[in-house]
């Protein structure tokens, strides 16, 4: 039986399109508030930032004291590895199946106050190498047929 508390796909019976449903993502920290305009003098290290080196992330894991590009599995992934490919079709109105996968996070650099625009050519090459490695590693998994690399804008 399909476990609707796990990531799955549902087919829209009107369009035939499949959509991804990730119910476990409701446990993510709330990110919907409007932030004030960023201050010009951000610290190099922020003890409250989930992504800074040495800090504890929301999921409880600790970041190492990384000194260059760092990757880890998202603590609140939209899709999860190891789910069975159960199909649920009680009638023509709803069709759903579980969708295995993984979500990874890539921290470009350890300094909290830097953006990609502030990075050197060498640091940017490290980021591209990390993207390439993640793409190849994730894409080599037999359960995964599509890898998407995207960047979520974070305004500090």
pLDDT in tens, the chain (156 residues): 788 888 888 888 889 899 888 888 777 777 677 667 666 688 999 999 999 999 999 889 999 999 999 999 999 888 888 888 788 888 878 888 888 899 999 999 999 988 888 899 999 999 999 999 999 999 999 888 889 888 765 544
Q: What is the token pair recorded at 45?
A: 């290290």
Q: In which element (H, E) is residue 96 found? A: strand 95-98
- Please tell me the predicted confidence (pLDDT) of residue 1: 78
pLDDT score for 59: 86
What are the helix and strand counts (H, E) for the chain? 1, 6
pLDDT for position 118: 87
d(CA 139, CA 101): 10
């Amino acid at each position: 039986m399909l476990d609707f508390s796990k990531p799955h796909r549902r087919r829209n019976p009107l369009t035939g399109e499949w959509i991804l449903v990730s119910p476990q993502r409701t446990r993510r920290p709330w990110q919907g508030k409007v932030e004030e305009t960023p201050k010009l003098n951000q610290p190099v290290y922020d003890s409250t930032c989930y992504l800074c080196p040495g800090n504890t992330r929301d999921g409880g894991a600790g970041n190492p004291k990384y000194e260059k590009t760092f990757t880890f599995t998202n603590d609140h992934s939209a899709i999860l590895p190891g789910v069975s490919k159960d199909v649920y079709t009680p009638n023509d109105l709803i069709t759903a199946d579980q969708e295995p996968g993984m979500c990874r996070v890539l921290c470009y650099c350890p300094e909290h106050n830097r953006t990609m625009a502030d990075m050197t050519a060498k640091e940017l090459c490290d980021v591209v190498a990390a993207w390439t490695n993640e793409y190849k590693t994730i894409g080599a998994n037999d359960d995964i047929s599509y890898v998407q690399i995207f960047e979520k804008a974070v305004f500090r």
